[in-house]
Structure 1
Amino acid sequence: MRDILMLLAILSLFACKNKDENKKDFVLDVQGTWQLVSATTLENGTSQTTDYSGKLKMIKLFNHTHFAFLKHSHDPKDSSSFDAGGGTFSLNGNDYIETLEYYKDKDWEGKTFKFKLAIQNDTLVQKGIEKVEKAGVDRVIIEKYIKIQK
Protein backbone atom coordinates (compact mmCIF):
# COMPACT_ATOMS: atom_id res chain seq x y z
CA MET A 1 0.00 0.00 0.00
CA ARG A 2 2.82 2.39 0.94
CA ASP A 3 4.55 1.67 -2.39
CA ILE A 4 1.37 2.48 -4.30
CA LEU A 5 0.98 5.79 -2.45
CA MET A 6 4.61 6.66 -3.18
CA LEU A 7 4.14 5.84 -6.87
CA LEU A 8 0.98 8.01 -7.04
CA ALA A 9 2.81 10.90 -5.37
CA ILE A 10 5.67 10.70 -7.89
CA LEU A 11 3.29 10.46 -10.84
CA SER A 12 1.33 13.48 -9.62
CA LEU A 13 4.56 15.52 -9.50
CA PHE A 14 5.29 14.71 -13.15
CA ALA A 15 1.71 15.54 -14.13
CA CYS A 16 2.08 19.05 -12.65
CA LYS A 17 5.25 19.95 -14.55
CA ASN A 18 5.12 22.12 -17.70
CA LYS A 19 5.64 20.30 -20.93
CA ASP A 20 8.86 20.76 -22.87
CA GLU A 21 8.96 24.30 -24.32
CA ASN A 22 10.01 22.95 -27.71
CA LYS A 23 6.60 21.36 -28.02
CA LYS A 24 3.50 23.36 -28.94
CA ASP A 25 1.17 21.77 -26.39
CA PHE A 26 1.97 23.84 -23.30
CA VAL A 27 0.02 26.97 -22.43
CA LEU A 28 1.38 30.32 -21.30
CA ASP A 29 -1.06 32.36 -19.24
CA VAL A 30 -0.76 35.93 -20.54
CA GLN A 31 -4.22 37.13 -19.55
CA GLY A 32 -4.26 40.19 -17.35
CA THR A 33 -2.36 43.46 -17.10
CA TRP A 34 1.41 43.70 -17.47
CA GLN A 35 3.63 46.69 -16.58
CA LEU A 36 6.54 47.29 -18.96
CA VAL A 37 9.84 47.49 -17.05
CA SER A 38 12.30 47.89 -19.93
CA ALA A 39 12.39 47.80 -23.70
CA THR A 40 15.50 47.14 -25.78
CA THR A 41 15.66 47.91 -29.49
CA LEU A 42 18.34 46.43 -31.74
CA GLU A 43 18.53 48.28 -35.05
CA ASN A 44 21.36 48.75 -37.56
CA GLY A 45 23.90 47.31 -35.13
CA THR A 46 22.87 49.70 -32.36
CA SER A 47 21.18 48.78 -29.09
CA GLN A 48 19.00 51.19 -27.14
CA THR A 49 17.26 50.38 -23.85
CA THR A 50 14.41 52.45 -22.43
CA ASP A 51 13.68 52.30 -18.70
CA TYR A 52 9.96 52.30 -17.87
CA SER A 53 10.34 52.24 -14.09
CA GLY A 54 10.41 56.04 -13.70
CA LYS A 55 7.99 58.67 -15.00
CA LEU A 56 7.54 56.93 -18.35
CA LYS A 57 5.01 54.10 -17.95
CA MET A 58 3.43 51.52 -20.23
CA ILE A 59 0.99 48.69 -19.64
CA LYS A 60 -0.13 45.87 -21.91
CA LEU A 61 -3.47 44.14 -21.39
CA PHE A 62 -4.53 40.72 -22.66
CA ASN A 63 -7.86 38.93 -22.72
CA HIS A 64 -8.60 35.68 -24.59
CA THR A 65 -8.34 37.19 -28.08
CA HIS A 66 -7.15 40.80 -27.90
CA PHE A 67 -4.31 42.91 -26.58
CA ALA A 68 -3.98 46.64 -25.97
CA PHE A 69 -1.16 48.87 -24.81
CA LEU A 70 -1.10 52.33 -23.26
CA LYS A 71 1.99 54.46 -22.72
CA HIS A 72 2.38 57.88 -21.13
CA SER A 73 4.60 59.97 -18.94
CA HIS A 74 3.78 61.02 -15.39
CA ASP A 75 5.82 64.18 -16.04
CA PRO A 76 3.30 67.06 -16.23
CA LYS A 77 5.57 68.86 -18.73
CA ASP A 78 5.57 65.92 -21.17
CA SER A 79 2.37 65.44 -23.15
CA SER A 80 4.07 64.10 -26.29
CA SER A 81 4.84 60.61 -25.00
CA PHE A 82 1.26 59.26 -25.09
CA ASP A 83 0.88 56.19 -27.28
CA ALA A 84 -1.78 53.49 -27.55
CA GLY A 85 -2.78 50.64 -29.79
CA GLY A 86 -4.27 47.21 -29.90
CA GLY A 87 -5.60 44.32 -31.90
CA THR A 88 -5.88 40.56 -31.94
CA PHE A 89 -3.33 37.92 -31.03
CA SER A 90 -2.75 34.21 -31.13
CA LEU A 91 -0.54 32.15 -28.86
CA ASN A 92 0.68 28.66 -29.68
CA GLY A 93 3.19 27.46 -27.12
CA ASN A 94 5.62 30.35 -26.86
CA ASP A 95 4.90 31.57 -30.41
CA TYR A 96 3.00 34.83 -30.04
CA ILE A 97 1.55 36.62 -33.08
CA GLU A 98 -0.17 39.96 -32.82
CA THR A 99 -2.04 41.89 -35.49
CA LEU A 100 -2.13 45.60 -34.83
CA GLU A 101 -5.63 46.81 -35.72
CA TYR A 102 -5.67 50.20 -33.98
CA TYR A 103 -2.78 52.66 -34.01
CA LYS A 104 -2.14 56.35 -34.61
CA ASP A 105 0.25 55.63 -37.51
CA LYS A 106 -1.80 54.00 -40.27
CA ASP A 107 1.36 52.43 -41.77
CA TRP A 108 1.40 50.09 -38.75
CA GLU A 109 -2.29 49.11 -38.84
CA GLY A 110 -3.01 45.67 -40.21
CA LYS A 111 0.58 44.52 -39.72
CA THR A 112 1.33 41.16 -38.11
CA PHE A 113 4.29 40.73 -35.80
CA LYS A 114 5.78 37.42 -34.65
CA PHE A 115 7.38 37.12 -31.23
CA LYS A 116 8.59 34.54 -28.76
CA LEU A 117 7.24 34.81 -25.22
CA ALA A 118 8.72 33.50 -22.02
CA ILE A 119 7.07 33.72 -18.62
CA GLN A 120 8.80 32.97 -15.37
CA ASN A 121 6.89 33.70 -12.17
CA ASP A 122 5.49 37.24 -12.63
CA THR A 123 7.87 38.25 -15.47
CA LEU A 124 7.03 38.12 -19.18
CA VAL A 125 9.69 38.64 -21.85
CA GLN A 126 8.60 39.33 -25.43
CA LYS A 127 11.22 39.14 -28.19
CA GLY A 128 10.83 39.44 -31.93
CA ILE A 129 11.04 41.55 -35.05
CA GLU A 130 9.08 44.71 -35.80
CA LYS A 131 9.16 45.32 -39.52
CA VAL A 132 7.05 48.02 -41.19
CA GLU A 133 8.51 48.90 -44.58
CA LYS A 134 6.37 52.04 -45.14
CA ALA A 135 7.55 53.43 -41.80
CA GLY A 136 11.20 52.46 -42.39
CA VAL A 137 11.19 50.17 -39.35
CA ASP A 138 13.14 46.90 -39.23
CA ARG A 139 14.32 46.08 -35.72
CA VAL A 140 14.44 43.48 -32.99
CA ILE A 141 12.64 44.36 -29.78
CA ILE A 142 12.97 42.78 -26.36
CA GLU A 143 10.38 43.87 -23.81
CA LYS A 144 10.32 42.87 -20.16
CA TYR A 145 7.00 43.08 -18.25
CA ILE A 146 5.93 42.42 -14.66
CA LYS A 147 2.39 41.16 -14.05
CA ILE A 148 0.21 43.58 -12.11
CA GLN A 149 -1.48 41.68 -9.33
CA LYS A 150 -5.14 42.28 -8.48
Structure 2
Amino acid sequence: MRNQIILVACSFIFITCNKNETTPTLSKPKEIKKIEGAWKMVYGEIREGDSVKIKDMTVSDFIKIIGKDHFAFFNQNHTNPDDFYGGGGTYTLEGNTYTETLQYCAVEAVRGHKFPFTIEIKGDTLIQYGLEEVKKANIKRYIVEKYIRKNK
Protein backbone atom coordinates (compact mmCIF):
# COMPACT_ATOMS: atom_id res chain seq x y z
CA MET A 1 0.00 0.00 0.00
CA ARG A 2 2.85 2.36 0.88
CA ASN A 3 4.47 1.76 -2.54
CA GLN A 4 1.17 2.60 -4.27
CA ILE A 5 0.91 5.94 -2.40
CA ILE A 6 4.50 6.81 -3.33
CA LEU A 7 3.84 5.84 -6.97
CA VAL A 8 0.66 8.00 -7.10
CA ALA A 9 2.45 10.96 -5.45
CA CYS A 10 5.43 10.71 -7.84
CA SER A 11 3.07 10.44 -10.84
CA PHE A 12 1.15 13.52 -9.64
CA ILE A 13 4.38 15.53 -9.23
CA PHE A 14 5.66 14.40 -12.64
CA ILE A 15 2.38 15.30 -14.38
CA THR A 16 2.12 18.67 -12.59
CA CYS A 17 5.70 19.69 -13.39
CA ASN A 18 5.43 18.54 -16.98
CA LYS A 19 2.07 20.30 -17.49
CA ASN A 20 3.60 23.79 -17.14
CA GLU A 21 6.08 23.08 -19.91
CA THR A 22 3.50 21.82 -22.40
CA THR A 23 0.75 24.37 -21.77
CA PRO A 24 0.38 26.44 -24.93
CA THR A 25 1.08 30.14 -24.44
CA LEU A 26 -1.52 32.63 -25.53
CA SER A 27 -0.38 35.49 -27.71
CA LYS A 28 -0.51 38.88 -26.05
CA PRO A 29 -3.22 41.24 -27.27
CA LYS A 30 -1.93 44.02 -29.50
CA GLU A 31 -0.86 47.06 -27.53
CA ILE A 32 -3.10 50.06 -28.00
CA LYS A 33 -1.29 53.37 -28.42
CA LYS A 34 -2.18 56.02 -25.85
CA ILE A 35 -3.34 58.28 -28.69
CA GLU A 36 -6.00 55.84 -29.92
CA GLY A 37 -9.58 56.73 -29.05
CA ALA A 38 -12.19 59.45 -29.43
CA TRP A 39 -11.25 63.00 -28.47
CA LYS A 40 -13.36 66.17 -28.07
CA MET A 41 -11.73 69.52 -28.71
CA VAL A 42 -11.98 71.91 -25.76
CA TYR A 43 -9.60 74.60 -27.03
CA GLY A 44 -8.48 75.66 -30.49
CA GLU A 45 -6.12 78.48 -31.38
CA ILE A 46 -5.00 79.61 -34.84
CA ARG A 47 -2.15 82.07 -35.35
CA GLU A 48 -1.89 83.56 -38.83
CA GLY A 49 0.56 86.38 -39.34
CA ASP A 50 0.14 88.61 -36.31
CA SER A 51 -3.47 87.63 -35.54
CA VAL A 52 -4.67 85.04 -33.05
CA LYS A 53 -8.11 83.44 -33.34
CA ILE A 54 -9.58 81.32 -30.53
CA LYS A 55 -12.22 78.79 -31.61
CA ASP A 56 -15.55 79.30 -29.80
CA MET A 57 -16.23 75.80 -28.47
CA THR A 58 -19.66 76.82 -27.09
CA VAL A 59 -21.21 76.89 -30.59
CA SER A 60 -19.78 73.69 -32.06
CA ASP A 61 -18.53 70.20 -31.33
CA PHE A 62 -15.23 69.10 -32.84
CA ILE A 63 -14.48 65.38 -32.47
CA LYS A 64 -11.33 63.54 -33.56
CA ILE A 65 -11.22 59.75 -33.68
CA ILE A 66 -7.80 58.10 -33.86
CA GLY A 67 -7.47 54.41 -34.65
CA LYS A 68 -4.49 52.12 -35.17
CA ASP A 69 -3.29 53.97 -38.28
CA HIS A 70 -6.21 56.19 -39.41
CA PHE A 71 -7.85 59.33 -38.05
CA ALA A 72 -11.08 61.15 -38.74
CA PHE A 73 -12.49 64.45 -37.55
CA PHE A 74 -15.76 66.28 -37.80
CA ASN A 75 -17.10 69.64 -36.67
CA GLN A 76 -20.79 70.39 -36.20
CA ASN A 77 -22.01 73.89 -35.49
CA HIS A 78 -24.92 73.91 -32.99
CA THR A 79 -26.66 76.96 -34.46
CA ASN A 80 -26.28 76.19 -38.17
CA PRO A 81 -26.74 72.55 -39.23
CA ASP A 82 -25.29 73.37 -42.67
CA ASP A 83 -22.00 74.43 -41.04
CA PHE A 84 -20.52 70.92 -40.93
CA TYR A 85 -17.12 69.76 -42.09
CA GLY A 86 -15.02 66.68 -41.68
CA GLY A 87 -12.09 64.76 -43.02
CA GLY A 88 -9.69 61.96 -42.37
CA GLY A 89 -6.78 59.91 -43.54
CA THR A 90 -3.77 58.07 -42.21
CA TYR A 91 -1.24 59.06 -39.59
CA THR A 92 2.14 58.10 -38.25
CA LEU A 93 3.37 58.49 -34.70
CA GLU A 94 7.09 58.54 -33.95
CA GLY A 95 7.85 59.61 -30.41
CA ASN A 96 5.82 62.78 -29.95
CA THR A 97 5.74 63.61 -33.69
CA TYR A 98 2.24 62.94 -35.00
CA THR A 99 1.89 63.37 -38.78
CA GLU A 100 -1.52 63.35 -40.44
CA THR A 101 -1.86 62.66 -44.16
CA LEU A 102 -5.21 64.16 -45.10
CA GLN A 103 -6.88 61.95 -47.71
CA TYR A 104 -10.58 62.72 -47.34
CA CYS A 105 -11.87 66.30 -47.25
CA ALA A 106 -13.82 68.81 -49.30
CA VAL A 107 -10.82 71.05 -50.05
CA GLU A 108 -9.01 69.41 -52.94
CA ALA A 109 -5.83 71.49 -52.52
CA VAL A 110 -5.06 69.88 -49.14
CA ARG A 111 -5.81 66.26 -50.08
CA GLY A 112 -2.68 64.14 -49.84
CA HIS A 113 -0.86 66.78 -47.80
CA LYS A 114 1.12 65.78 -44.69
CA PHE A 115 0.65 67.85 -41.55
CA PRO A 116 3.34 67.25 -38.91
CA PHE A 117 2.42 68.12 -35.32
CA THR A 118 3.94 67.72 -31.91
CA ILE A 119 1.69 66.01 -29.38
CA GLU A 120 1.60 65.65 -25.64
CA ILE A 121 -0.75 63.38 -23.71
CA LYS A 122 -1.29 64.33 -20.09
CA GLY A 123 -3.84 62.11 -18.35
CA ASP A 124 -7.03 62.40 -20.41
CA THR A 125 -5.80 65.45 -22.35
CA LEU A 126 -4.25 65.46 -25.82
CA ILE A 127 -2.40 68.62 -26.85
CA GLN A 128 -1.52 68.97 -30.53
CA TYR A 129 0.41 71.88 -32.02
CA GLY A 130 2.38 72.78 -35.10
CA LEU A 131 2.53 74.62 -38.39
CA GLU A 132 -0.11 73.89 -41.04
CA GLU A 133 1.33 74.97 -44.36
CA VAL A 134 -0.10 74.23 -47.80
CA LYS A 135 1.20 76.62 -50.46
CA LYS A 136 -1.32 75.38 -53.06
CA ALA A 137 -4.18 76.40 -50.74
CA ASN A 138 -2.49 79.59 -49.47
CA ILE A 139 -2.50 78.21 -45.90
CA LYS A 140 0.20 79.04 -43.40
CA ARG A 141 -0.89 79.02 -39.79
CA TYR A 142 0.28 77.76 -36.44
CA ILE A 143 -2.33 75.81 -34.45
CA VAL A 144 -2.72 74.70 -30.87
CA GLU A 145 -5.52 72.24 -30.11
CA LYS A 146 -6.47 70.65 -26.80
CA TYR A 147 -8.73 67.61 -26.60
CA ILE A 148 -10.29 65.65 -23.77
CA ARG A 149 -10.66 61.88 -24.18
CA LYS A 150 -14.28 60.82 -24.59
CA ASN A 151 -15.54 58.11 -22.22
CA LYS A 152 -14.92 54.59 -23.47
TM-score, length-normalised on structure 2? 0.76
Q: Distance in 2 between matches of 1:125 and 1:51?
A: 17
Which residue does 1:126 correspond to in 2? 128
Query: Counterparts of 1:20-35 in structure 2 under 5 Å?
Result: 29-35=34-40
State the match for 1:16 in structure 2.
none
2:91 to 89, 100, 112: 89
> Whole-Å Cα distance in 1 between the matches of residues 105 and 98 of structure 2?
19
Partners of 1:142 and 1:81 lie apart in 2 by 22
Contact 1:28 1:93 in 2 (8 A): no
Q: Aligned equivalents of 1:125 and 1:28: distance in 2?
A: 15
* Of 47, 51, 55, the match for 1:46: 51
Structure 1: which 4+ aligned runs deviate by more than 2 Å? none
> Which ranges of structure 2 fall in alignment gaps of 5 or more residues?
1-31
> C-alpha displacement at 1:28, in angstroms?
5.8
Which amino acid in the other structure matches residue 87 of structure 1?
Answer: G
Aligned to 1:68, which of 69, 72, 78? 72
The percent identity for this pair of structures is: 37
Larger Rg: 2
In the other structure, the counterpart of 1:99 is: 101
1:72-113 CA-partner distances (Å, limit 9, x unpaired):
1122xx134201000000001101111000000100100001
How many residues are aligned here? 121
The within-5 A match list for 1:129-140 is 129-140=131-142
TM-score, normalized by length of structure 1?
0.77
User: What is the SS of the residue equivalent to 2:110?
Assistant: coil
Tell me how far apart the structure 2 counterparts of residues 81 and 132 of structure 1 sit (CA, whole Å).
23
Gapped runs of 5+ residues in structure 1? 1-26
- Please give the secondary structure, in 1, of the residue aligned with 2:109: coil
Aligned-pair Cα RMSD in Å = 1.3
Matches of 1:69 and 1:47, distance apart in 2: 22
Query: Partners of 1:66 and 1:89 in 2: how far apart?
Result: 6
Change (3 A) 1:28 1:142: farther
CA contact (8 A) 2:33 2:68 kept: no
Contact map agreement 2:47 2:143 (CA 8 A) in 1 = yes
